[in-house]
Structure 1
Amino acid sequence: MRVVIASCSVDYSGRLNAHLPLATRLLMVKADGSVLVHSDGGSYKPLNWMSPPCRLDVAEPSEEEAATGVDAVWTVQHTKNDDRLVVRIHEVLADHSVDLGVDPGLVKDGVEAHLQKLLAEQIDILGPGHQLMRREYPTAIGPVDILARDEDGTAVAVEIKRRGEIDGVEQLTRYLELLNRDPLLAPVRGVFAAQEIKPQARVLAGDRGIRCVVLDYDAMRGIDDVDSRLF
């Protein structure tokens, strides 16, 4: 990773043309060949960039460019089309290169697979007397996250989401229609479980006889004592 802070102007040509006038910006050159131009704002999104495969060439400025204060010209050419990013450097304020090594990738916490595992282990969150039958119960239209039985022995199909929206309720509805055709399971009730359930999804679930359960991920992991909360 090379990180350069410089006073520069930037021109992009190809599928569209764009110009960034002279200003101080952050230039990032990554090991995959990508070059990104950032300002001190706009969150994570660069002002302009070139994605790989591309090639970076650094050249001396022309006489005309040098007369306007340009010290170096970066030309980033895409190798599969005519897209080109030209950075005209006027002054370099900082220039650092660091080998970051191989990144292990993003490990997401609180994804649906984690919630499913925790709920299967703590099935009584659905209510006293519930028993787990199976995780990822197979159906012709996809697996049901959890199939359980309640204290009365009635089958319960559970759809788990991080954020519960209408699409999740619709998905569970389709599972219930299919499962209730199985004489060995019917009747099957539905539970829509999520860390957050949108009001529209809650209304639709209630209209279809589906119970909603809000999952407290921290409490399920044992890092938050629900009983000790003031609010």
Structure 2
Amino acid sequence: MRLVIARCSVDYVGRLNAHLPSAVRLLLIKADGSVSIHADGRAYKPLNWMSPPCVLAEGEGVWRVTNKAAETLVITIEEIVHDSTHDLGIDPGLRKDGVEAHLQVLLADRPDAIRPDLTLVRREYETGIGPVDLLCRAGDGSTVAVEIKRRGEIDGVEQLTRYIARMTDDPALPHPVHGILAAQSITPQARLLASDRGLSCATVDYDALRGLEPSIPTLF
């Protein structure tokens, strides 16, 4: 991972244009190729970012990050305060809580609960930047990667986007490669971002998968 602290302005040119005026910011360039711009606030959420696959071209005072959709992040560097690179090694991935881990087991046995034409190929398929929860085969023979969350949020969409980018370049997998975010509930923001990224969403009923009656009583 490369960490750069710089005074810079940022312009995003794509589906919507956005401008960040000059200020001191943290630029993160990760091993997966992603570039994100952070302020000293907003917790983990970046001010702007470009997800992989994308290409960073560093020029004199100007960095350009371009993705496959020809969207561009232009970073105008006025002053670099710090620039360092660190090898973080292979991350073991996020350990799921009990519900998420159990959901993965249940859905591995019942991938049709996510989508009727899915069959399981294997669990925990390693992408090189972490394992995707379920590797499935669709009825048409294409590959489907399923990321399972208790609650589907933007972070889950970003995680699945990174996995799909790596899997698309994997010649061992039948193409095309599709992605599904499966969760007990999914936020509207996550659904919108997933749609923009060409991903699908699926809500699953944890109690029904366990063979239990609904936790919330119904009228009929």
Question: Where on the TM-score scale, by shorter chain, does this alignment land: which range?
Answer: 0.5 to 0.7
Q: How many residues align?
A: 123
Aligned to 2:167: 179
Rg larger for: 1
Q: Does 1:149 align with 2:125?
A: no
The Cα offsets for residues 207-230 of structure 1, whole Å up to 9 and x where unpaired, read as: 11111000110001000269x954
Q: 2 CA distance for matches of 1:155 and 1:191? A: 11
**Kept after mapping to 1: 8 A contact 2:114/2:203:** no
TM-score by length of 2: 0.52
Q: Does 1:158 align with 2:146?
A: yes
Match of 2:193, SS state, is helix
Q: 1 CA distance for matches of 2:162 and 2:188? A: 20
**Kept after mapping to 1: 8 A contact 2:150/2:183:** yes
One-letter amino acid of the counterpart of residue 215, structure 1 = V
Match of 2:136, SS state, is strand
One-letter amino acid of the counterpart of residue 103, structure 2 = L
Match of 1:193, SS state, is strand
Q: Does 1:219 align with 2:208?
A: yes
Q: Which runs of 5+ in 2 are unaligned?
A: 1-95
Match of 2:162, SS state, is helix
**Kept after mapping to 1: 8 A contact 2:164/2:178:** yes
- Decide whether aligned partners of structure 1 residues 140 and 152 sit closer, same or farther in structure 2, where only a CA change above 3 A counts: same
Q: Runs in 1 of length 4+ with deviation above 3 angstroms?
A: 228-231
Q: Percent identity?
A: 63
The Cα offsets for residues 104-129 of structure 1, whole Å up to 9 and x where unpaired, read as: xxxx9852110000001111112223
One-letter amino acid of the counterpart of residue 208, structure 2 = A
Structural RMSD (CA): 2.1
Q: 1 CA distance for matches of 2:122 and 2:139? A: 16
Q: Which runs of 5+ in 1 are unaligned?
A: 1-107
Q: 1 CA distance for matches of 2:155 and 2:178? A: 18
